[in-house]
Amino acid sequence: MSSTSDSTERLVRTWMASERDEEITEIVSEISNGSTSLLNVVKALGEYLTSEEETSRTKGVELLSVVLGRCPPERLNRQAARVLTSFYCSKLEDSETVVPALKGLVNLTKLPSSTSEDAPNIMNAIFKHVKMKGLVQSVRFHVFTIIDTLMARHRQVLRDMNDDFIGRYIALVDGEKDPRNLLVAFAIDRVIIIEFDTANFVESLFNITFCYFPITFRPPPNDPYGITTDDLRQALRKCLNATPVFGPLAIPVFLEKLAAGSPTTKRDTLESMSICFPVYGSALARSQARKIWNSLKLEIFQPTDPITEQFALRTTQDLVKTIYDSVDGTDSDIEGLARDACEECITILREPEKSQAKPAIKVLCAFMSTTPSVSRFTVAQTAPYLVQLYIQPDNLAARPSILLLLSDLIAAARDSMNVSKSNDSSSSETPLGPYKDEILGIVSSALKVPSSRDPALACLLGMVSIDNLLSDEELGFIVHNVNEILSEESEEAEEASAPALQLLVTISQRSAHYVKEQTLPLLFSMLPDDAPTRDAALDRAKAWRILSALNTLCRPVELFETLVIRLITKLDLLCVPSESTPPQIDHEPRAAYAHSILTTLHQTLLAKVDDGHGDVAKYIENLVSRLFNLFIYSALMSKEDVSLIATDSRLITVAGQIIGTIMQNTAAQRQESYIQALFSAYLNGQVSLITEGYHKLPPTSNFAPLNDSASAQQRNLVILLASAVIPLHKEIPIPVTDLNVFLGSLLTWSIADITANADIQRESAWEMISAILNKRSADVSSFIESMLHEFWPKHIANRSEPVDRRNRATQAWVWISKALLVCNHAQASQFTDIIFSVFDDGNINWTAAKSFGNIVRTDTVLTKQNHASIKILYAQRFVGRIFPRMIDGAKNASELEKQQSYLVGLTSLISSIPKALYVHEMPTLIPLLVRGLDLPDYNIRSQVIDTFLAVAEGDSPSEIITDHAPSLITTMLKNCSVDKMPSTKVRISALRYLGVLPSIVRYDVLHPYKATVIKQLAVSLDDPKRAVRKEAVDARTKW
Amino acid sequence: MSGTVFNPNPTVFRSSSSSASSRKLLAAKKSLWINESQPSFDQSMEDDEEEAIDQDEIFDLIRNIYDPEHPNTLEELHVVSAPQIDIRENRVKVEFTPTVPHCGMSTLIGLSIRVRLIRSLPTRFKLDIVVKPGSHQSEHAVNKQLNDKERVAAALENPTLVKTVEDCLTGRA
């Protein structure tokens, strides 16, 4: 026993000299294994604790507190806890030991062996001896922590102390300013206010809480404690609304702060009021209603800003709810604020076109979402009033304004329905019900007047979206009226067509049959059968308008079906005119019209995919085969001299997009069977399986678009094949005997010398190769090998080949490299690295350099929708590998040709990748990019400026830009005036960048250039292009 | 600024955006093909056709200036409108209508318009800013003040006045 206490004593003595952590750890472990005890430590400390020397006393208590903090709780029995409590309490008297003693108490009070018996002693000692004003924040924090712990563990004891506790606590917290301490203090305050008998202290408690309102604390930058203004606000609010007795004292404070404060204070006050009203009770709210409303009114009718206005409206709602929640009865007993405010607002509505009418209707709308009785009352006052106002003949000019107000009211009624629906289902009766006939009456007459059409449609939109308000017949009546707008041919009617369509869309969600039976036939009948001629712009605009209306309307399953049938029929007739139709000499308008029909179908399909409609896949059966039917027929029937319009590559491209969208949404199984039929058509000429449709194909077809001798019309149809192949699922095999051979021959086909314009065909073939390669790279290793060892040396590196052929082969190379890169294929790097080898070849080096950007740029082929195999971070890996080499190359001035290639490659790469991948390299990149601005290629220049613009966005460090500001300003000014830079795009980008500079570069850096820039920009103000002038105006305003 | 509000409750009009239908018609005139806006936009950007500064462009510059008294734009209050702008060679005449004939803010509104246009139009233009004839009780005085070079220059030396004008231009009330 003595040996253990010896060891404790030794350790204590060592620590007093060394203050090392080792001794503490050892003491704690001895206590843990029971070889010594805390009381032994106290004994060992004896001489220090009573020492004359102040530091010894401080350190002695310190050691004990630290050990206590680390001891396992079960090592402290009740007896020891009691001793330690009185020990620490006595140490509070000594100004040298108060700090470590508080530390000890923080730990001690948390231990289970510290009981409620100790609490009064601790509190008394703290109240008596601790002088908060003389202590630093961290020590005061200990005090609050101790009180907080006691409050949590022994609340009853403190409540028994009540007056004794509260009075002295108030004195203790008085003057506290630190946010960390306040957070704890507020929590304690709330408990006291709610659970203690505060009768004697209401005013003092009010003072120690409301003196902090409103919170103006702003956390310093890099605040390590992470306490936000909002934390404090929330904590304080819990005190403010802790008791109704604060009410009478609080309201004047709130109103004063509201009137005088900054926008933030106003908002804080409004929010605090909102949560306090319900607690303070309806009696107080009622008696103060007038005064509060007068203040709130000011914030609504003369708002500082829209957000504060919103807050004020919400607070008004909460006030009204508090007043009327308890007296929810019949409508007739609405007295007081709601009635007064309603009448006040309605008086203002007498002049509906004036600016004050807007806030007035906002208040009324806000009332709609309070209590059901107030809501009913408000509607009963406002709706008939607005209807009357509309009917009065002398208000003719104000009618649009009246309807606009009415539409706000209806929208509010709808929103209040949604709120009450989520609360309870009892009030499903809409307050608008009794007035709907009158409203429908004036609104349907307003639809006929152009100026009031828009607000009338807004009213209807509100009404149709309220459940159970309108009957089915009434919806039919509305559809009928809206159809009249759609069929009217005037500019005003066209203006209204967008909201009219939105209304029909909303109606069709409930009863599609009216739209299907009334609106669609009308629209289809208005669509011309034949294309408007070249100079009939008006007719063409009308046809487009109808098509866009159909696109908006025909998304629901039932309506889309009708759309497909009608449009595809129209298309068949248009593309293959019967003998009787007069032949059009000019094919172009007809092709353009067919193109617009196809585009409409595609856009509607895309919208359906976005909305997640499941019926897209089924159109592989009828729509896709009808398209193949039409296009293959047209290709086969076209001869040298007469070609049908469906051979136009622009039409085929849109058809391909439709097929692609449908294939993307088709299940793997169906894709597999379909692709087999498709390949047997394209490779063996067996077209009958995929071409069910209107046109009868010639029985002896010689359909072979992939033959070397195929006609241009047939070759074009590879676009359709590609669009069906690209979205295939990974697991679906391509139905050919040898995929390596197939890809090889497709590639040869794609780079063959064809005189006709064949860019789209080639591009489609490459995309198809890329998609197949990406998904099935394991099956085609011999193709990949032959690319590297035969194709590259023969078609790209071979300097005796014609240049355009080499360029073409390089483009194909891009697509192949891309496919391998995206799926992280092992040989992908060989494909990209080899490109550097032609950087010194003046004929193709620019194409080669630009291909780096093209390889890594995201595209529409290798996407998730197309089920491509995309490995994460492939771009990061690629950039990480290529970037250093590019930068080195661009810096190396030994070979000019090569250096320029690197520079082009670098700019192309940067403009194709996300900012995050290169922003850390900016210091090295900026000088290179500035040089890129001298390259003769305008596209590169505008890409470089766009890169600078991208870097300027967000919070990337702007110091590097600051360093280069002078040279950037000079270069940009050179690129923005019309006599030095013919490209509009570059001028716009340069001006945009000049406009950004003032916000990212410090003013003192820019100041020397200000005069020059403003003078130079004046030249751009007179630019021949409007878009350029607009940017110049913006840039000049910023400077 | 003094606390007197000259017109506490002005009539607010709805501002019309350039109409969708006319844009469609314009597109239909230019091209036979639907949705070619993107490529044709690029083309029109790079062609040599000159787009002269017109009424609408000047209106676009001043429509969003804020009224010194209200959180509304000059367009919403019908203080300015496109037909009230007249361009002849190098002369721009902008006419504006105060909301009430005794409006003491008219000079400030006129000054804001002038400052905006000085900053945004090529220097070759000469500016005339006038109130609509018969719309203001001291029409002559206001016009004189707005078009006197020295007085405008003097006004723009006054920092508080410049700040007020800036507020009108940017919409900070």
- Tens of pLDDT along A583-596? 656 777 888 888 88
Q: For A775-784, how does the pLDDT look when each residue is reduced to its tens digit (9 = 90+)?
A: 888 888 888 8
pLDDT over threshold 60, residue A787: yes
Q: How far is CA A829 from CA A759, A817, A818, A877, A908, in A?
A: 27, 8, 10, 10, 18
Confidence band, pLDDT 50/70/90 cuts, at residue A1: very low
Specify the pLDDT at position B44: 44
Q: For A402-418, how does the pLDDT look when each residue is reduced to its tens digit (9 = 90+)?
A: 888 888 888 888 787 76
Mean pLDDT of A627-633: 85
Q: What are the DSSP calls for B90-125, one per residue?
A: TEEEEEE--SSTT-TTHHHHHHHHHHHHHHHS-TT-
Residue type, A551: N
pLDDT over threshold 80, residue A187: yes
B46 and B63 fall within a common domain: no
Distance of CA A615 to the CA centre of its chain: 29
Mean pLDDT of A57-86: 81
Closest CA to A780 of A728, A745, A750: A745
Mean pLDDT of A90-111: 82
Mean pLDDT of B137-151: 82
B44 and B72 fall within a common domain: no
Do the Cβ atoms of A1037 and B120 come within 8 Å? yes
What tokens does B107 get?
Answer: 């000079």
pLDDT over threshold 70, residue A424: no
B146 and B116 fall within a common domain: yes
Mean pLDDT of B39-66: 66
Q: For A937-959, how does the pLDDT look when each residue is reduced to its tens digit (9 = 90+)?
A: 777 788 888 878 877 776 655 66
pLDDT over threshold 80, residue A336: no
Q: How far is CA A489 from CA A134, A486, A521, in A?
A: 85, 8, 17
Mean pLDDT of A626-643: 78
pLDDT over threshold 70, residue A462: yes
**Percentage of the residues of chain A whose pLDDT score is greater than 90:** 0
Segments making up each domain of chain A, as ranges: 471-573+588-601, 617-730, 736-913, 914-1038
Q: Which residue has the higher pLDDT, B165 or A814?
A: A814
Q: Which residue has the higher pLDDT, A967 or A328?
A: A967
Do the Cβ atoms of A540 and B28 come within 8 Å? yes
Confidence band, pLDDT 50/70/90 cuts, at residue B42: very low
Supply the CATH number for residue B79's domain.
3.30.300.130
Cβ-based contacts of B57 with chain A (< 8 Å): 1026, 1029
What is the 3 state secondary structure string of A951-967?
Answer: HHCCCCCCHHHHHHHHH
d(CA A631, CA A713): 10
How close A66 gets to chain B, by Cα (Å)? 58
Mean pLDDT of A93-99: 80
Coil, strand or helix at B85: strand
B69 and B141 fall within a common domain: yes
How close A502 gets to chain B, by Cα (Å)? 15
B47 and B60 fall within a common domain: no
Do the Cβ atoms of B51 and A541 come within 8 Å? no
Specify the pLDDT at position B97: 84
Provide the domain limits for residue B26.
17-51
B44 and B122 fall within a common domain: no
Specify the pLDDT at position A2: 47
How close B139 gets to chain A, by Cα (Å)? 25
Burial class (CB in 10 A: 0-12, 13-18, 19+), B124: exposed
Specify the pLDDT at position A957: 58
Whole-number mean pLDDT of chain B? Answer: 73
Mean pLDDT of A502-506: 83
Which among A355, A534, A589 has the least Cβ separation from residue B9? A355
Residue type, A90: S
Mean pLDDT of A449-478: 80
Closest CA to A169 of A130, A199, A218: A130
Cβ-based contacts of A404 with chain B (< 8 Å): 14
DSSP state for residue A796 in the 8-state scheme? I
Last residue of a domain, one of B36, B51, B66: B51
Specify the pLDDT at position A488: 73
Q: For A862-872, how does the pLDDT look when each residue is reduced to its tens digit (9 = 90+)?
A: 888 888 888 88
Query: Residue A462: enclosing H or E segment and its boundaries?
Result: helix A450-464
CB A261 within 8 A of CB A303: no
First to last CA, chain A: 84
How close A589 gets to chain B, by Cα (Å)? 6
Q: Is the dihedral of CA A166, A171, A175, A181 positive or negative?
A: negative
How close B58 gets to chain A, by Cα (Å)? 11
Which among B28, B45, B50 has the least Cβ separation from residue A1027? B45
Mean pLDDT of A57-85: 81
Q: Which residue has the higher pLDDT, A967 or B4?
A: A967
pLDDT over threshold 50, residue A425: no
How close A850 gets to chain B, by Cα (Å)? 21
Coil, strand or helix at A783: helix
Distance of CA B135 to the CA centre of its chain: 17
d(CA A699, CA A888): 63
Last residue of a domain, one of B9, B29, B51: B51
pLDDT over threshold 70, residue B6: no
d(CA A520, CA A513): 10
**Percentage of the residues of chain B whose pLDDT score is greater than 70:** 70
Do the Cβ atoms of B34 and A592 come within 8 Å? yes
Question: B10 in a domain, yes or no?
Answer: no
Do the Cβ atoms of A595 and B34 come within 8 Å? yes
Give me Rg for the CA atoms of chain A: 40
B91 and B166 fall within a common domain: yes
CB A430 within 8 A of CB A466: yes
Cβ-based contacts of B12 with chain A (< 8 Å): 353-355, 358
Question: B12 in a domain, yes or no?
Answer: no
B81 and B26 fall within a common domain: no
At residue A827, what are phi and psi to the nearest 5 degrees? -95, 5
pLDDT over threshold 80, residue A75: no
Coil, strand or helix at A826: coil
d(CA B138, CA A867): 74
Question: B128 in a domain, yes or no?
Answer: yes
d(CA A760, CA A649): 8
Q: Which residues pair with B128 in a beta bridge?
A: B93
Mean pLDDT of B102-111: 80
Mean pLDDT of A24-37: 80
DSSP state for residue A643 in the 8-state scheme? -
B60 and B95 fall within a common domain: yes
pLDDT over threshold 70, residue A484: yes
pLDDT over threshold 70, residue B5: no
Burial A374-408 (b: 16+ CB within 10 A, else e): bbbbbbbbbbeebbebbeeeebeebbbbbbbbbbb
Distance of CA A943 to the CA centre of its chain: 26
Whole-number mean pLDDT of chain A? Answer: 81
pLDDT over threshold 50, residue B38: no
The answer to whether the complex's ipTM is over 0.95 is: no
Cβ-based contacts of A1027 with chain B (< 8 Å): 45
Mean pLDDT of A315-322: 84
Mean pLDDT of A627-656: 80
CB A29 within 8 A of CB A75: no
The beta strands (E) that lie in chain B are given as 85-88, 91-96, 126-131
Specify the pLDDT at position B10: 66
Sheet holding B91-96, edge to edge: B85-88, B91-96, B126-131
Cβ-based contacts of B10 with chain A (< 8 Å): 354-355
Cβ-based contacts of A354 with chain B (< 8 Å): 9-12
B109 and B64 fall within a common domain: yes
A vs B, Cβ pairs < 8 A, gives 97
d(CA A319, CA A254): 14
Question: B94 in a domain, yes or no?
Answer: yes
What tokens does A509 get?
Answer: 């969600």
B71 and B28 fall within a common domain: no
Specify the pLDDT at position A515: 80
pLDDT over threshold 80, residue A254: yes
Last residue of a domain, one of B51, B71, B94: B51
Domains of chain B: total: 2
B61 and B141 fall within a common domain: yes
d(CA A893, CA A889): 8
The tokens 């082009």 sit on which residue?
Answer: A904
pLDDT over threshold 80, residue A529: no
Question: B5 in a domain, yes or no?
Answer: no
